[in-house]
Each structure stands twice: as structure tokens, then as C-alpha cells.
Structure 1
């Protein structure tokens, strides 16, 4: 669990994903479209991926991917991120965390 918390706090925006997950791809594309360059951790391509997935579940990430952290805090999964984007607060969170500048 410490590894996930450490990785989640190393960059302003961090996304834990799986390479075969369509929603993960969509969330990454949304962040890039907004001008953010999140740290991406592909759970299915990392040697510690299974451990990280279990740690994400223990942290309350449900589903465990995509799991989005902004400013070191867990923000949510795809559904949560899309909701934040629709109401305009995702961009504000990214600005506050200095993941994007405007």
C-alpha cells in the first residue's frame, strides 16, 4: 500500500490503469486533451502490478482501475472523473494541483 501512496504523490496527476481497458484509455486521453501529462502506471505491465491492484482495492478504489489521483489524493474511477469533467471541476482540480497551467 505504501508503494501506491508513494507513486500517487510523486506527480500532480497519477493514473493507475490496465493497457487493455477502454475506459482507462479514455481517461488518459481526457487528461492529455486538458493539457495534463499524468504519470501512468499500467498494472498489467508492471512487475508489482497485482500488488498495486490489491493495494488500490484496500484504499477504497472500486473498481481498482482506472484509479485517478490528483495532488496525491484519490479522486475516483472513470465514472467519477467523467462527472467532474462534465461539471467543470476536473480542470479546476488539475489547475490547483499544478498539473496544468492556465
Structure 2
């Protein structure tokens, strides 16, 4: 799924940094009771959501304006 998100963001003109989380880190977060949704997308330093939210906002045409507003995209 990370590949899909990265490819989508590259196609709209964003070169996102990718931080890999290994299985042990993910398991630790789950054991601590944290809700973990990976891949997680941060826009403007804030958690935006996962694959579902990014795809939904892209389909509705809202993703590019959100990226522009956050300063992640210059068009």
C-alpha cells in the first residue's frame, strides 16, 4: 500500500519522504493500545489519514488543494 500512496503523490507533484516502520514497532504500538493505521500520511506535519482518506480526497478533487494549502505542492 505504501507504494500506491507514494506513486499517487508523485503523480500529483509531491515527492514524499517515506519512513518505514518494522513489524516490531507496529506490534509494540498495538500492544500499548494505540490505534495503528499504516500507511499513515502526514500533510503539513499533521496526521491526515491512511490510504482510504487519501484516495477519497484525490477522487473528489480535494487532495491537490489540501497539498497546496499545506505548502507541499507548488502549482
Query: What is the rounded CA distance, in whole Å, between the counterparts of 1:95 and 1:28 in structure 2?
Result: 17
> Mind listing any 5+ residue stretches in structure 1 that lack a counterpart?
1-22
Quick check: which one's strand share is greater? 1
User: Structure 1 residue aligned with 2:18, among 20, 36, 40?
Assistant: 40
TM-score computed with the length of structure 1 as normaliser: 0.61
| Bigger RCO of structures 1 and 2 (CA < 8 A, at least 6 apart) | 1
Query: What is the rounded CA distance, in whole Å, between the counterparts of 1:54 and 1:97 in structure 2?
Result: 28
Q: Which has the larger radius of gyration?
A: 2
Say whether 1:72 aligns with 2:50.
no
How many residues are paired up?
71
Query: What is the rounded CA distance, in whole Å, between the counterparts of 2:19 and 2:52 in structure 1?
Result: 19
Tell me the equivalent position of 1:94.
Answer: 67
Tell me the equivalent position of 1:54.
Answer: 29
TM-score computed with the length of structure 2 as normaliser: 0.81
**Runs of 4+ residues over 3 Å off in structure 1:** none
